[in-house]
Chains A and B, each alone.
Chain A
Amino acid sequence: TASQGSITSFFGAP
């Protein structure tokens, strides 16, 4: 089954 990704792994510190 698929696992939930995290927003922080796509959007980093500005």
Chain B
Amino acid sequence: MLEARLEQANLLKKVVDAIKDLVQDCNFDCNDSGIALQAMDNSHVALVSMMLKSESFSPFRCDRNIALGINLTSLTKVLRAAQNEDILTLKAEDAPDVVNLVFESAESDRISEYDIKLMDIDQEHLGIPETEYAATISMPSAEFQRICRDLMALSESVSIECSKEGVKFACQGDIGSGSVTLRSHTNVDKPEMNVEIDLTEPVSLTFSLKYLVGFCKASSLSGQVKLCLSNEVPLLVEYALANNSYLRFYLAPKIGD
């Protein structure tokens, strides 16, 4: 059986909120290392990969592999009933029909309990190759969100060019063009404001801004976001969570520009 207790419902609420517009029905794969999710969007352009390590829960117990097929719209409805600060416990039997969610208020004696019916989801699981990326950029997640939103006002796509000079986000649209260039930057007092660019070779790729703006819904999960790029491979956008847990998005580049 599965029993996983989160100190704050907020974490799951934010994760689900960040991915629910991209993917609808997903398997939450539970085993003794934690709870994982991998799903592609309907058009097979983007892929979400979430890992909530067992260390992110206290306690965490999962004796055998259990796949919880959950509709994220349903999960959102139930999670809306949880206060951000509630303790959240997920429970399921070994061959479950439902997943049970319990929300406990730390301040009052209120206990809420919900069951969500599970779905049988036949999901294609993709192998993501280990990649030595040519460029890795760590930057404030709010900054990345702002750049994507600003450029989307002008264009559907953004080119991300990483060179010794820095990283340049550029777009061209009907009304004109725009670009934002960032250089490495260290803020001793506020390390969350750091921009770190690790480059082994110059990279230039073009991506759909609609997807990037969607990924940025995860910005509240982490002060920093990591962008990993190599020519002609999908972009990795990673939001690191506590205890080595993470929420990752992969986005296929536009080709033949």
Contacting A at CB under 8 A, from B235-257, are 250-257
B44 touches A8 (CB 8 A): yes
Which of B40, B129, B257 is A7 in contact with, Cβ under 8 Å? B40
Chain B contact-residue range equals 20 to 34
Given the complex of chains A and B, what is the CA–CA distance between A7 and B128 in angstroms? 10
Which of A3, A4, A5, A7 is B126 in contact with, Cβ under 8 Å? A7
Q: Which residues of A contact B257 (CB under 8 A)?
A: 1-2
Which of A7, A9, A14 has most B Cβ within 10 Å?
A: A7
Given the complex of chains A and B, what is the CA–CA distance between A8 and B28 in angstroms? 21
Given the complex of chains A and B, what is the CA–CA distance between A11 and B40 in angstroms? 11
Which of A2, A6, A14 is B256 in contact with, Cβ under 8 Å? A2
B127 touches A5 (CB 8 A): no
- Contacts A7-B40, A7-B45; A14 near B252 (Cβ below 8 A): no
Q: Which residues of A contact B208 (CB under 8 A)?
A: 4
CB distance from B43 to the nearest CB of A (A): 8
CB distance from B23 to the nearest CB of A (A): 12
Q: Which residues of A contact B40 (CB under 8 A)?
A: 7-8
- Contacts A4-B45, A6-B44; A12 near B127 (Cβ below 8 A): yes
CB distance from B175 to the nearest CB of A (A): 17
A13 touches B157 (CB 8 A): no
B254 touches A3 (CB 8 A): yes
B157 touches A11 (CB 8 A): no
B254 touches A11 (CB 8 A): no
Q: Which residues of A contact B254 (CB under 8 A)?
A: 2-5
Q: Which residues of B contact A9 (CB under 8 A)?
A: 252
Given the complex of chains A and B, what is the CA–CA distance between A10 and B255 in angstroms? 12
Q: Which residues of A contact B206 (CB under 8 A)?
A: 2
Given the complex of chains A and B, what is the CA–CA distance between A9 and B252 in angstroms? 9
Given the complex of chains A and B, what is the CA–CA distance between A9 and B151 in angstroms? 27
B256 touches A11 (CB 8 A): no
A6 touches B126 (CB 8 A): no
B-binding residues in A (CB < 8 A): 1-14
15 CB-based A-B contacts, threshold 8 Å: A2-B157, A4-B208, A4-B254, A5-B45, A5-B234, A5-B255, A7-B47, A7-B251, A8-B44, A8-B126, A10-B234, A11-B129, A12-B127, A13-B126, A14-B125
